[in-house]
Amino acid sequence: MNKNEITERLNKVFRDVFGDDSISVNENTTSADIEDWDSIEHINLIAAVESEFGIRFKMREVSGMKNVGEMMEIISQRG
Residues that bind another protein (CB under 8 A): 13, 16-19, 40, 43-44, 47-48, 51, 59, 62-63
Measured from the CB atom, the residue of 32 and 59 that comes closer to another protein is 59
Measured from the CB atom, the residue of 39 and 77 that comes closer to another protein is 39
* Cα angle value 77/42/32 (rounded, 5°): 95
CB of 51 to another protein, least distance (A): 5
74 HSE (CA, 13 A, CB side): 21
Measured from the CB atom, the residue of 28 and 44 that comes closer to another protein is 44
35 HSE (CA, 13 A, CB side): 4
CB of 19 to another protein, least distance (A): 3
- Reduced to 3 states (helix: H, G, I; strand: E, B; else coil), residue 71 is helix
